[in-house]
Structure 1
Amino acid sequence: MASPAGRPRSPRARDVRWRGALAVLEEMRREPGVTRAAVARRLGLSTGSATEITARLRDLRLLAETPVAAAGRGRPTTALTPHPDGPLVIAVDLRQEDWRCAVAPLDGRPEVAAAGTHHSRDPARVAGTVGRAVRDLHRRHGDRVVGVSVAIAATVRHGRVVQSSVLGWDAVDLAALAPDPRLPLLIGNDATLAGLAEARRGVAAGAATVLHITVEVGVGGTLVVDGRPVDGAGGAGGEFGHLPFGDPGLRCPCGARGCWDLEVDGRAIARHLGDPPPADPRSYAERVLARAPADPAARAAVGAAARGLAGGIAGLVNALDPAVVTLGGLAESLRAAAEPEFGRTLAGGLMRFRRADPPAVVAAALGRDGPLHGAVVTALDHVLTEAGLAAWAAHRSPA
């Protein structure tokens, strides 16, 4: 559209019209099923403006409205939900032993649509298997799919996998997971994405600074500040498990010595029990945790791992000053199984001024689904922009 003087309208002028729409969609994303009246109050919109914006979003198949009765004596209003023909993102959770693919609309609620276990750790075979599942979902939903986001148990730098100690990979190209080269393919570390999800949608929602720690095979995590992970110059930050908090005599699969990873997971528990290194450290740790209440040797091994976990968390709290610490994966199970050891070690490792008012340490709310939720959050952050809405509208006639 040209300006009155005949000049093309600037991108800035074109994008202004999406700002109110984005604000409304963000409220729907933050609180699925929120009413139009509540959104208008939060955003300071007049009834007319809220009606006009939601009507335009409805015409573009971005949201749907369902009548609901207003509370008290107010006017009837509507609940805002994703449009049944609206945009979708595909999220992939690629773990040590298995994988899952989910589809999520604009409210960010993933629904798992395909899953499987790795019959081989060969990266080409894994990417081929998961890529076929993603392509099937893309064929099923067509041009409603606006992005693919992958959470993987690996170090990710500049959007590419550079190493995965747990999968035994070095640099791996996951381009096969993109069903269409025109779609964005976003790749992130699973622990980072789980922490992002807890800070945005989980137990730490609303906290300005969140430290997330998870134990699966090794330790992962992230620091989330104002809803964004602090992930370094190339995106590879947050590899807390490779801090030298452990025994320098032990060589980590990452290539370094003394990694914290080796002090807290199933490999550490096996060493304390005199068992050989387990093929699957996570399931081994779960079995030992289950028998620990009745087995003194298992209880002692779990206690040692819990002390290793708490000591490292204390160091990170001293360095990073979070408002909340969230524990995912086996981290919360270790704390619960050896609460006295964990609590004493954490308190003893804090700087003296922190002990009177330490940050809350809480169990993650999203559990093993955290990385999947985080992948959806990342994809929707990419899609719900002025440019993203304009691109969707450019290929849609009014509903």
Structure 2
Amino acid sequence: MASHDLRWRGALAVLREMRRDPGVTRAAVAQRLGLSSGSATEIIARLRELALLAERPAAVSGRGRPTTVLGPHPYGPVVVAVDLRQQDWRCAVAALDRGLEIVDRGGHASREPARVTGEIARAVRRVRDRLGDRVRAVGVAVAGTVQEGRVVQAATLGWDAVDLGALAPGLPLMVGNDATLSGVAEARYGAAAQARTALHVTIEVGVGGTLVVGGDPVSGATGAGGEFGHLPFGEAWLRCPCGARGCWDLVVDGRAIARHLGAPPPADPRTYAEQALARAADDTAVHSAVVLTARSFAAGLAGLINALDPDVVTLGGLAEPLRAAAAAPFDAVLSDGLMRFRRAGPPRLVAAALGADGALHGAAAIALDHVLTEDGLDAWGRLPDR
């Protein structure tokens, strides 16, 4: 088969629709894509033959010809998604309908890059040993700055440049910042799925995010864009682990809450912030610290809204709980920070829908983007048992 065989175009359109809308019926796909009954039958038969798609009877509803529900073939291609976080990592498998199955996880016994990447590489190898050539690509979400597919700095892990190529030798490897990939997943499948332009902002250790336009992140010339936490929205006297001064990161998370309380910097800022938010309603000092932190978050968020003009803002990680714990002060600072013309119709702020799995979904998304191409399907079709 030629890698640019025109017949792949119809097949890709069907598979992408199945991915976008898991559980979609054959009739709905044909209608959305403008396919005749004969064309739909031909394309879907070909996809079944290539172990790319399976069908099952749809539930009967009213009159009309019976149809089927489209889903991934039980022996079809899959991708591995990895979420590499400050304290731990998780590994999942995703089929073409983007359904995730978490298959492995581990904490960082050491922050030494070789130790961490070695553990993850062994987890990926176990998946490949079990599924063989069905594994077509690996996507990695990492809590760090990613430039041209390479980790160049992961301040919360204490890393500078780290090569992740050993995670999946012989397989296509896609790497992205965790907050960016969470935003991609929210824009495609989550709380911002209907928006043309979505701003995703998440607080974990510091703050990150991305602007997503048409389902793709605006990530700059080298892919390192979206480092919102390193905008100078913070205190100029504070030196960030990234090397810069005045980073927004340092005034919006557990480190900021601890500083307002006169406590030492926490070893685990995210857990510290979670505990503080849980205590804020009953502890006046903690509530005051949370309010100050929420105000810093609102002021920076107003600046992002003014600059990027999103339809909707999705709040991930601790961003929504922080906002909710100090709702009135947050809203007042956000409104004061918006340009006057925006105040009558500011973008909606909504909680992220995918929760703690947002980065995993995003890692799976970039890996599936690689598989669901003409070249990707062509490579699958050339396997000996196809």
Q: The TM-score by the shorter chain falls in which range?
A: over 0.9
What's the counterpart of residue 303 of structure 2? 315
Q: Which of 168, 187, 195 is the matching residue for 1:199?
A: 187
Shift of 1:211: 0.4
Shift of 1:397: 4.5
Is residue 43 of structure 2 the alignment partner of residue 43 of structure 1? no
Shift of 1:387: 1.1
Q: Find the aligned partners of 1:396 and 1:327 in 2 and give their Cα distance.
A: 46
Q: Which of 244, 252, 255 is the matching residue for 2:243?
A: 255
What's the counterpart of residue 285 of structure 1? 273
Deviation string, structure 1 residues 92-123 (Cα, Å, up to 9, x no partner): 00000000000010001111000110000000
Shift of 1:355: 0.3
What's the counterpart of residue 18 of structure 2? 28
What's the counterpart of residue 317 of structure 2? 329
What's the counterpart of residue 85 of structure 2? 95
- Tell me the secondary structure at the aligned position of residue 340 of structure 1: helix
Q: How does 1:217-232 map to 2 (within 5 A)?
A: 217-232=205-220
Query: Residue 202 of structure 1 contacts residue 364 of structure 1 at CA under 8 Å; is this kept in 2?
Result: yes
Q: Find the aligned partners of 1:359 and 1:382 in 2 and give their Cα distance.
A: 32
Shift of 1:71: 2.8
* Structure 2 unaligned spans of 5+: none
Size of the aligned set, in residue pairs, is: 386
Deviation string, structure 1 residues 354-381 (Cα, Å, up to 9, x no partner): 0000000000001110000000111111
- Tell me the secondary structure at the aligned position of residue 252 of structure 1: coil
What's the counterpart of residue 297 of structure 1? 285
Is residue 110 of structure 2 the alignment partner of residue 110 of structure 1? no
Is residue 57 of structure 2 the alignment partner of residue 67 of structure 1? yes
Q: Find the aligned partners of 1:338 and 1:396 in 2 and give their Cα distance.
A: 60
Aligned amino acid, residue 26 of structure 1: R
What's the counterpart of residue 131 of structure 1? 121
Shift of 1:46: 0.8
Q: Find the aligned partners of 1:51 and 1:283 in 2 and give their Cα distance.
A: 53
Q: CA RMSD in A?
A: 1.0
Q: Find the aligned partners of 1:50 and 1:242 in 2 and give their Cα distance.
A: 49
Q: How does 1:363-378 map to 2 (within 5 A)?
A: 363-378=351-366
Greater than 6 Å deviation, 4+ residue runs: none
Aligned amino acid, residue 343 of structure 2: R
What's the counterpart of residue 242 of structure 1? 230
Q: How does 1:166-177 map to 2 (within 5 A)?
A: 166-177=156-167
Q: Which of 127, 151, 159 is the matching residue for 1:161?
A: 151
- Tell me the secondary structure at the aligned position of residue 166 of structure 1: helix
Q: Find the aligned partners of 1:42 and 1:370 in 2 and give their Cα distance.
A: 27
Q: Which shifted more, 302-311 or 71-80?
A: 71-80
Shift of 1:186: 0.7
- Tell me the secondary structure at the aligned position of residue 293 of structure 1: coil
TM-score, normalised via structure 1 length: 0.95
- Tell me the secondary structure at the aligned position of residue 71 of structure 1: coil
Q: Find the aligned partners of 1:33 and 1:326 in 2 and give their Cα distance.
A: 25
